Amino acid sequence: MATFDAVRALGHRHVLAEGPVWIATKSRLLWIDVERGEVFVGRLDGGLVIETHRFDFEGKVGAVVDGDDGSLLVAVNDRLVVIDPDGMRRDGPRILEGTALRANDGGVDPAGRFLIGTYHYDERPGKDTLQRLEYDGSLTLLDDDLSISNGLAWSPDGTLFYSTDTANQTIWVRDYDPMSGGYGARRRHLTIESGYPDGLTIDSRGYLWIAIWAGFEVRSFAPEGTPADTVSVPVPDVSSVAFVGDDLDRLLITTSSRDLDAAGRERYPDAGALFLANVGVTGQPTTPWNSAAL
């Protein structure tokens, strides 16, 4: 096992940076600030992330992914919004009911379907969901008993689906068939006993890399669940991760400053920044969302 250090890559301090997505075909990075309702587009320049565009929304943003037609799909508050390649926006379906919750982390399966979780503002246990947007625009409910639905990832061959249940400190896994959309019963894959699992990604070997909220680090685990390497991050609340770069050989890490008081922000001046780490392995290209669904 090895320990790597993360280096600050963006000077901008976010409230809650989340949801990084690397678009390999365009060498482009997407990420969000949940609390400020901001969607960012950027690029890498050596060891720095350079912001190239920003989209602002009213309320909270839970996730952003790229579409196969050059569009962006954004989960905003309780609904989906499509940003067309020309920058025009159009409303998609409402995906949640009620004002006590919002869309949270999301991702795209190996066949182009978008999945999205929820977050209740009062963090009520066992009330969050995980849904999937089908090709015809309908929604399929996978889970309805989560406690902050968070990061999603698929094994390199697409046959295993991992999902984060943050407050329960659990990573679930289930069998998955990308072609048909069929999936099996979930089973417990990992229990994170120190800190809380948040966003995650998977490398080309099938190792999970998990951002640890209240943990100052990213931890990796072999496919059988045994601990592997760690990445030390100089802030407490580490929110998500993605492999980036033309060779998918660098780990980009998002963090939060949201829950720090004035003294905490002074103690951790890098909280809310983006970080990069070289961890000696490569990730997998992400699949674009199938835009025919909306």
Q: Residue 166's pLDDT is what?
A: 98
What's 138's DSSP letter?
A: -
Is it the case that residue 234 has pLDDT exceeding 90? yes
Q: Which residues of 139-169 are buried (b: 16+ CB within 10 A; e: fewer)?
A: eeebbeebbbbbbbbbbeeeebbbbbbbbbb
Number of domains in the chain: 1
Cα–chain center distance at 27: 18
Confidence bin at 209 (pLDDT 50/70/90): very high
Domain that holds residue 24: 3-293
Which residues are 109's β-sheet partners? Answer: none
Tell me the pLDDT tens digit for each residue of 241-257. Answer: 999 999 999 999 999 99
Q: Could you tell me the CATH number of the domain that includes residue 90?
A: 2.120.10.30
- Report residue 255 as tokens: 């963090």
Specify the pLDDT at position 12: 87
- Residue carrying structure tokens 């959309």: 181
Q: Mind listing the pLDDT tens digit for each residue in 165-186?
A: 999 999 999 999 999 999 999 9
Residues 6+ apart with CB under 8 A from 25: none
Exactly one of 66, 128, 198, 203 is catalytic; name it: 198
Q: What is the 3-state secondary structure (H, E, C) of 77-120?
A: CCEEEEECCCCCEEEEEECCCCCCEEEEEEEECCCCCEEEEEEE
Mean pLDDT value across residues 252-275: 97
Query: Quick check: 1 pLDDT over 90?
Result: no
Q: Judge whether 198 counts as a catalytic residue.
A: yes
pLDDT at position 124, please? 85
**Nearest alpha-carbon partner for 173 in 152, 193, 201:** 152
Give the three-state DSSP class for 292.
Answer: helix
Q: Please give the mean pLDDT across all residues of the chain.
A: 96
H or E element, residue 253: strand 250-255
Residues 41-98: tens digit of each pLDDT: 999 999 999 999 999 999 999 999 999 999 999 999 999 999 999 999 999 999 998 7
Which of 240, 126, 131, 222 lies closest to 183 in space, CA to CA? 131
